[in-house]
Structure 1
Amino acid sequence: FSFVNTKLPTSFRSSSLFSRNSIAFHASQYSSTLSAHRHPLNTQFSYFQHKKLSTMAKKSKQSKQEVVVPPLQKIDAKKFVYEQICKAVQELYSFDLHAAEAKVPEDKKILNQLIPPKAHLQDLYFSLCTNMFVVAKYLMKNKPKNLKPPQFAEEVNNRISEKLQQYAAQDPQSILDHVEPEGPFCNIHFKPVFVAQVVDKIMKRGFLNPLPEKDERVMIEYSQPNTHKTFHVGHMRNAALGNSLVKLYRHCGYHVEAVNYIGDVGTHIAKCLWYYLNFYPKKGMSIEDDVPEDITKVEFLGDMYSESCNKLALENYVKLPFATYVFARVDKIEQHPANPKWLVVQLTVGNDITQQVVCGGKGFSVGDIVAYAPVGAKKGKVRVSVIDKKGVQSVGCILSEKELGIGANNDKIHSFTEQDMGKSIFKTPEPGVELTEASRIPDTDIPADRNVTDVLKERNTQVKELLLRMESGEEEITNLWNLTRQWSIDDFKDIYKWTDSHFDFDFHESDVGTEGKEMAKDAFKKGILVESDGAIGADLSKHLMPGTKQDMGFLVLITSAGTGLYATKDLALAKRKFEEFKIDRSIYVVDSGQSLHFQQVFKTLELLGFKQASKCFHLAYGIVTLSEGKMSSRKGTVVFFSQLKKELTDHIMQNFLEKYRGDWSDEKIEETCRRIALATIKYGMLNQDNSRNIIFNIQEWASPVGNTGPYLMYAYTRTQSILREVTLNDEEKNLVDYNLLSHPTEAKLLTILEEFPETVEKAAEAYKPNLVCVYL
């Protein structure tokens, strides 16, 4: 059929949902029905379309005078069924359904509640199903007293079904095949000739045309890579999802602005440049001279960032990464006077320094050395404080095996002994000694005579100072930032070109930092924002996260040090979208880890008076992992895009295209390889529900069989081979008799083709491109 024809009109190729030859790129997964019949479907399609159409054409040539072809009946199925039901109700019950539904909301009307029946009833016919209980409620005055409403609905269904069947029997040209009552449900099945309308639509090239324009401007923000970090396989899920959504919305008639938001400022850049300036061995006069020959410039920057994170991470230098925690000796243990499950513990936490802790832990004794978190230390995300535990003051806390990461028991307080030497600690633990110092890993780059936490504080201070130098525009560091920033942006452009990702506008984080802070200060003066612990932000504690009982907490917009945060810039960016681009709906394609952040931003926009805030949507998606575990730019455990591209193209060349060497030009082989590679990676990324995490597996995704992008491309080329065998001129096409469509596979295939426009609309409105691939 024409929707897979390579010779599509230019206007269609530029505006359609799928670019030519890339139908596999925007899909997710087959339906279970199609998966079960994947190869048989192709075979039956070839036989029943090729042989039957050819035979029909030959017969029509031989005796054109004898051929009488019934015209296709272009009927709206739902309206037809509704009118038939209204007619039956009028005859059976003398009741006017049209009048009764005049004031009923559109979505509650019978017409708009007609749905496809259960899957097993769709095998042979195009069908619709209605719940006759909806009809029966209008007829309750006709209900016999001895019948309950469900029984009455079933009786109404049986009578109406019988009447509809009579209508079909009386009219030989009726599109109804048969009507099947099932409890209160009425399943109405159409003849295949009715479903064949879709063939006519497709052949006239209007079936895949974009829908009528809507008066709504939608901005879809996707990709959002950070400069000075390497674009990796995980970024491809965002790019595939966002690009597909842009095409879906444009196809559905929306005015769409596809935009990128590049993170070109921030601490991650300061870390990267800090490492280069302080640790990387210089070879030449500039940073360009220092890039190794075997990696790209952006991979070099990615390495610098990963190495900087290593130099700043406490866990890389100590076995017990608990800053400010100290060892303590247990001097006395007593039962708590009000709670028999609690113990009151007296500790020595330093020279002549004692503290009292109320503890529910077990497995320790007087004289044991334990880990103690003093007041002010961080335990997870919470600051340790003085707490009144039913009349007994508890100052700080002692830690269990699980809290220390030494064991799995959360009740057992860990006591340090000689058995811990060489494992979690390397020095004898004494009261007052920091855990970090006693657990220092030997032979690191921090001198033994320096305190490890002091050194890391100094390093983090250097990063902050470098960030301030960047923000103040200091010439030397700004020049270095601009040069390396451009490396990343140029690399992004090359990647987007290779992956067919397109943007109408690029926002940069560096453009909105000052504006966001001014917005926050102005809102604070107006009393919309409040101050907390020296920081300015939005108190959202009275607002709940959608669908949960969790409140949104406090959104910091200006820190006590006077700096803005990501949320501050997002407010300014949203303001630009609304005011400069006149956006009605704003979609953010960002991983699910940012869900709280975006709900806080949207609620704050609402508080600031932006009406469009109600139409801001965060399209959250799961992360991409490797079989070995989660990827991390900080840890350097990622598959770079350049590596992905090479691995994919090498695999495809070896398994798909080597046999065409000599027959095809190098340019054709290279472009075909790119297309198959894109089908592999994009389909793999979209072949999941948005919320699910994905395990990247190139062997499975690049397989030429099964639920993969390459298989869809193979199926597409098979249809082209079949079409080349069907040689009908326009006169012969007009003589086709669709009443001859009788095979179940044909009826099923036509029914599925008919569902395409509705599937696309559902995919767009639900923000789920994977629905298109379930369809494919």
Structure 2
Amino acid sequence: MFELEQQAIESQIKTFCAANDIPLAELKWMPIPFSGEWGISTSFFATAAAEAKAGKSKGLPVPARAQEMAEAVLAALGVQPGISHGEAVRGYLNLYFSTAEYARRVVDTVLADGKRFGAGHPKNERVMVEYAQPNTHHSFHIGHYRNTILGESLARIVQFAGFDTVRASYPGDLGLGVITVLWAYEKFYKGKEPGDIHERGQWLLKIYAEATNLLTEKENQTLEEKAQREAYEAERREMYRKWDAGDPYVRQLWLETREWSMEELRDILAMMDVKIDVWFYESEVDEPSKKIVDELIARGIADDERPTGPVIVKIDEKLGLTKEKYRVAVILRSDGTSLYLTKDLALARDKFEKFQADRSVYVVDNRQSLHFQQAFKILELWGFKQAEKCYHLAYGFVSLPEGAMSARRGRVVLFKEVYDEAIQRVLAVIAEKNPSMPESERKGVATKIGMGALAYSMLSVDNNKDMVFDINEALSFDGKTGPYIQNAVVRANSILRKAQ
């Protein structure tokens, strides 16, 4: 905003230093933390150090000489356009902008740029943000919503900052949970599925809860009940074996039921105005990940302790660290099966090589912090320069006023139920407070208010903290809530329209 003034000041500083035989180092300007005034600051420590190295110092220690230089430059600059005053403090030259001029320029820029005010210049860098990735064969609950709204908010900020932004989702479509649903569906429920997209997704979640109950050992069970549970467990293991062997019937069943989950997910993302660019599936990187393990072993990055142990990476040792920080990472079990870490390595390679991502952001809950620290360091050992630009955006759990959610117990709050409830509550408020609003407009207004309320209830909480989701609080028109803020904006716009 004061670029021209800054360039003129830099030119004067260079002229002053040249005239006084001072070997000026590169000027690096930094914003001064706001405390009633805006300004910029630069240090003369590097210049004083360069002068001392060249044997041109006046016998002063570098800090004292840097302060002397800052004072001399400040005196030489005198009065500058757009600058209210300056000061030399501990080797730094601090220049403060005229508040009135700063405010005028900000307002002019805002009016000129409109909605693009603050946007960054295009950057030659691609950022992939990975989020919105619930496991398949479940339903989208309020915890998944926190993940998705955090990821989408970040993606919009990154895009606005000028980065080439790619939105990616990595649904988990493998594992015992998926097989549990397949087994129960095929045995008890095949052909009974609902037709509605969301009812089908919710139905799969209920099947999972019921199947888990059937397969869980209980206290005081009879011999008959134990035998039945063990028979069910054997059937589930056989289903898993068939899936792993590529059995056509089981694979088709898996793909069909997976698509039910994906249909619901895509519809919910559309409600949220989230558009995913790239879909990865856990099943697609499972086999490639095992080949990566072979490569890491061959390159001496991983140690193969099979058949008595797993394949591991001694990260701290490979990095030359004397204290344990990243621990030992297991990347392949002794039976040859992969882990989440193995598959994340394969996924990262695809991001970097197939999609040319320069940075990768993972929006995943905070339980996985060590997992990603290990993944990023293994990628670094593997030779990927992008590893240093990988970032784990962690977030805390979402619980309910009555306690923690549990898919296994069927105790979750589904997003679609919350969404529908939010719309109905806002429609009721509209009917009471604005009965003259045409029916054709009510649903659209209610949707914007309801979705805004839900988004604010999530984003207003520090992402690192756990949170308790209370729908009554989220939809309140009082206090620090989404509807309260939206109402304030409507009133402010009304005042502006009247002023015109």
Q: Same fold judged by TM-score > 0.5?
A: yes
Report TM bin, short chain. 0.7 to 0.9
Contact 1:226/1:263 (<8 A) preserved: yes
Identify the residue that residue 296 of structure 1 maps to in structure 2: 199
- The 5-angstrom pairing of residues 71-470 of structure 1 reads 75-76=2-3, 79=6, 82-83=9-10, 86=13, 90=16, 100=22, 102-104=24-26, 109=27, 111-118=28-35, 122=36, 126-128=37-39, 130=41, 153=67, 167=79, 174-177=81-84, 188-205=96-113, 207-208=116-117, 210-277=119-186, 280=188, 286-288=191-193, 296-314=199-217, 317-318=218-219, 440=220, 446-448=221-223, 459-470=232-243
> CA offset at residue 508 of structure 1?
1.6
Distance in 2, Cα, partners of 1:103 & 1:148: 14
Aligned AA for 1:605? L
Contact 1:128/1:189 (<8 A) preserved: yes
Question: Is the aligned partner of 1:608 residue 2:382?
Answer: yes
Question: Is the aligned partner of 1:497 residue 2:270?
Answer: yes
> CA offset at residue 148 of structure 1?
12
- The 5-angstrom pairing of residues 614-763 of structure 1 reads 614-656=388-430, 658-666=432-440, 668-727=441-500
Q: Percent identity?
A: 32
Aligned AA for 1:203? L
- Closer, same or farther in 2 for the Cα pair 1:75/1:132, shift >3 Å? closer
Distance in 2, Cα, partners of 1:514 & 1:716: 52
Contact 1:540/1:551 (<8 A) preserved: no
Aligned AA for 2:365? D
> CA offset at residue 262 of structure 1?
1.6
Distance in 2, Cα, partners of 1:292 & 1:75: 61
Question: Is the aligned partner of 1:483 residue 2:392?
Answer: no
Q: Deviations over 1:572-604 (max 9, x none)?
A: 222222222122222211111112222222333
Identify the residue that residue 565 of structure 1 maps to in structure 2: 339
Distance in 1, Cα, partners of 2:388 & 2:278: 23
- Closer, same or farther in 2 for the Cα pair 1:117/1:137, shift >3 Å? farther
Q: Secondary structure at the match of 2:39?
A: strand
Distance in 2, Cα, partners of 1:256 & 1:724: 36
- Closer, same or farther in 2 for the Cα pair 1:103/1:626, shift >3 Å? same
Question: Is the aligned partner of 1:580 residue 2:354?
Answer: yes
> CA offset at residue 117 of structure 1?
4.3
- Closer, same or farther in 2 for the Cα pair 1:572/1:644, shift >3 Å? same
- Closer, same or farther in 2 for the Cα pair 1:587/1:163, shift >3 Å? same
> CA offset at residue 555 of structure 1?
3.3
> CA offset at residue 179 of structure 1?
5.4
- Closer, same or farther in 2 for the Cα pair 1:707/1:217, shift >3 Å? same
Contact 1:297/1:487 (<8 A) preserved: yes
> CA offset at residue 616 of structure 1?
2.3
> CA offset at residue 621 of structure 1?
1.6
Contact 1:136/1:156 (<8 A) preserved: no
Normalised TM-score (structure 1):
0.56
Q: Secondary structure at the match of 2:316?
A: coil
Q: Secondary structure at the match of 1:262?
A: coil
C-alpha RMSD of matched pairs (Å): 4.0
Which blocks of at least 5 consecutive residues in structure 2 are unaligned? none
- The 5-angstrom pairing of residues 500-579 of structure 1 reads 500-525=273-298, 527-534=300-307, 535-542=309-316, 550-579=324-353
Distance in 2, Cα, partners of 1:155 & 1:475: 78
Distance in 2, Cα, partners of 1:212 & 1:516: 37
> CA offset at residue 689 of structure 1?
2.9
Distance in 2, Cα, partners of 1:555 & 1:583: 25
Distance in 2, Cα, partners of 1:253 & 1:99: 41
Distance in 2, Cα, partners of 1:480 & 1:559: 28
- Closer, same or farther in 2 for the Cα pair 1:179/1:112, shift >3 Å? closer
- Closer, same or farther in 2 for the Cα pair 1:213/1:182, shift >3 Å? closer
Q: Deviations over 1:357-382 (max 9, x none)?
A: xxxxxxxxxxxxxxxxxxxxxxxxxx
353, 364, 370: which one pairs with 1:590? 364
Aligned AA for 2:82? I
Q: Deviations over 1:613-649 (max 9, x none)?
A: 3332222222222223332222322211122112222
Identify the residue that residue 356 of structure 1 maps to in structure 2: none
Aligned AA for 2:141? H
Contact 2:45/2:63 (<8 A) preserved: no
Which blocks of at least 5 consecutive residues in structure 1 are unaligned? 1-73, 169-173, 319-439, 441-445, 728-776
Distance in 1, Cα, partners of 2:478 & 2:46: 48
> CA offset at residue 500 of structure 1?
0.8
Contact 1:117/1:129 (<8 A) preserved: no
Distance in 2, Cα, partners of 1:689 & 1:97: 53
Identify the residue that residue 345 of structure 1 maps to in structure 2: none
- Closer, same or farther in 2 for the Cα pair 1:661/1:227, shift >3 Å? farther
Aligned AA for 1:76? E
Contact 1:544/1:550 (<8 A) preserved: no
> CA offset at residue 700 of structure 1?
2.9
Contact 1:584/1:615 (<8 A) preserved: yes
- Closer, same or farther in 2 for the Cα pair 1:260/1:137, shift >3 Å? same
Distance in 2, Cα, partners of 1:639 & 1:266: 23
Distance in 2, Cα, partners of 1:716 & 1:250: 25
> CA offset at residue 550 of structure 1?
4.0
Contact 1:132/1:153 (<8 A) preserved: no
Contact 2:141/2:415 (<8 A) preserved: yes
> CA offset at residue 99 of structure 1?
7.4
Aligned AA for 1:175? G
Distance in 2, Cα, partners of 1:117 & 1:128: 8
Contact 2:132/2:151 (<8 A) preserved: yes
- Closer, same or farther in 2 for the Cα pair 1:665/1:455, shift >3 Å? closer
Distance in 1, Cα, partners of 2:31 & 2:431: 49
Aligned AA for 2:251? T
Q: Deviations over 1:72-110 (max 9, x none)?
A: xx74387179559949x95xxxx5599746434xxxx3x
Q: Deviations over 1:316-360 (max 9, x none)?
A: x24xxxxxxxxxxxxxxxxxxxxxxxxxxxxxxxxxxxxxxxxxx
- Closer, same or farther in 2 for the Cα pair 1:102/1:646, shift >3 Å? same
Greater helix content? 2
> CA offset at residue 711 of structure 1?
3.0
Distance in 1, Cα, partners of 2:260 & 2:41: 60
